């Protein structure tokens, strides 16, 4: 119960930070800004900015330099969902319990909203330079953010996923794990790494967190695959069975439900062990990772 109370407070904290950075809905781009804000305000777990904030705190970070990166990370994650829901991709009409951006604003405006969020994310992250112009960690953090979100990160994973789906190619284990590592784990890795970098962590500590982020990301994706066949629209907030509908090979279809559940637990425990190895522990962060095992949405 104490964890749930803390979780609620931290989500509210992140929501408030997001509101500081969302664009004002005025001018000739008003509809674009409305669609961008609609997408971000749809809610969700705010997992990625929360991982970033808690890692920052675990390494002793206390300043506001983390705030623009928290907002930027959630904008990048949200843009990926907006584009993922498009008719050309998964063609989903519901996300987080309400209509997707393209269902409300139309396909063209949803594309622009995703583009807007991606560009505005880096504009937002760059505000950290104004806050601490002499801090070299800001440049390092932006480098991590761009690499993990780009063609060698999330977009690369999405590319492999789309090609396999549209061509109905047989996916072997290596390609499946490439997709999960890049499409899902990359942003989680960057969350942990950026939090550590901005707090002054050592290189080997950042590298260890990259491994933990991989474990968390793969576990998160496997659990997502599990929920796609075991949950409901009411609980999950989006249509279930979309993977089967779109003829997607998933971790669950490749390994079975029970093995998938065991792997979620194994990977989550491995990630927590890494988090426990640092000189200062963040018990909330550890518990947050463990909740991936039993989450229902």
Cα separation of 265 and 256, whole Å?
Answer: 15
Give the mean pLDDT of 58-62.
Answer: 97
pLDDT (average), residues 231-259: 64
**pLDDT score at 144:** 98
pLDDT given at position 242: 52
Model confidence, pTM:
0.91
CA dihedral 270→151→106→87, nearest 10 degrees, is: -70
Domain residues of the chain, as ranges? 2-293
- What was the pLDDT predicted at 44? 87
For 75-132, the pLDDT digits (tens) are: 999 999 999 999 999 899 998 789 999 999 999 999 999 999 999 999 999 999 999 9
| pLDDT category of residue 233 using cuts at 50, 70 and 90 | very low
Distance CA 149, CA 57 (A): 23
The whole-chain average pLDDT of the chain stands at 91
Say which CATH topology domain 2-293 has.
Answer: Farnesyl Diphosphate Synthase (1.10.600)
Band of the pLDDT at 292, cuts 50, 70, 90?
confident
Q: How confident is the model at residue 163 (pLDDT cuts 50, 70, 90)?
A: confident
Q: Where are the beta strands (DSSP E) in 18-103?
A: 94-95, 98-99
Tokens 């003829």 identify what position? 247
Write down the pLDDT at residue 1: 66
Task: Give the lowest-confidence range in 149-153, 193-197, 253-257.
Answer: 253-257
Confidence at residue 235, expressed as pLDDT on a 0 to 100 scale: 47
Q: Residues 6 or more apart from 240 whose CB is under 8 A from it?
A: 227, 228, 229, 231, 232, 233
Q: Does residue 191 surpass a pLDDT of 50?
A: yes
Please say whether the dihedral angle defined by the alpha carbons of residues 175, 176, 179 and 185, taken in this order, is positive or negative. negative
13-42: pLDDT as tens digits: 999 999 999 999 999 999 999 999 999 999
Considering only residues 175 and 167, tell me which one the structure prediction assigns the higher pLDDT. 175
3-state secondary structure of 295: coil
In angstroms, the CA 264 to CA 260 distance is: 6
């Amino acid at each position: 119960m104490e964890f749930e109370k803390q979780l609620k407070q931290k989500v509210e904290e992140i929501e408030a930070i997001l509101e500081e950075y969302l664009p004002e809905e005025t001018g000739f781009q008003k509809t674009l800004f409305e669609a961008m804000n609609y997408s971000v305000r749809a809610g969700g777990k705010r997992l990625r900015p929360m991982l970033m904030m808690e890692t920052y705190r675990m390494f002793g970070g206390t300043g506001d330099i983390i705030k623009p990166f928290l907002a930027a990370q959630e904008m990048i994650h949200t843009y990926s969902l907006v584009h993922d829901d498009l008719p050309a991709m998964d063609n989903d009409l519901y996300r987080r319990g309400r209509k997707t951006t393209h269902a409300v604003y139309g396909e063209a405006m949803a594309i622009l909203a995703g583009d807007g969020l991606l560009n505005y994310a880096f504009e937002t992250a760059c505000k950290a330079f104004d806050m601490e112009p002499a801090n070299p960690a800001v440049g390092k953090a932006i480098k991590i953010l761009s690499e993990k979100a780009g063609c060698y990160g999330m977009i690369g994973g999405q590319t492999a996923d789309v090609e396999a789906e549209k061509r109905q190619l047989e996916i072997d284990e290596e390609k499946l794990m490439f997709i999960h590592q890049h499409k899902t784990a990359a942003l989680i890795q960057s969350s942990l790494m950026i939090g550590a970098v901005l707090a002054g962590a050592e290189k080997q500590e950042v590298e260890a967190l990259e491994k933990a982020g991989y474990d968390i990301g793969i576990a998160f994706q496997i659990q997502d695959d599990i929920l796609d066949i075991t949950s409901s629209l009411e609980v999950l907030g989006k249509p279930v069975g979309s993977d089967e509908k779109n003829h997607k090979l998933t971790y669950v279809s490749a390994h079975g439900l029970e093995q998938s559940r065991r792997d979620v637990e194994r990977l989550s425990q491995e990630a927590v062990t890494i988090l426990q190895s640092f000189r200062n522990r963040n018990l909330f962060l550890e518990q947050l990772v463990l909740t991936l095992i039993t989450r229902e949405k």
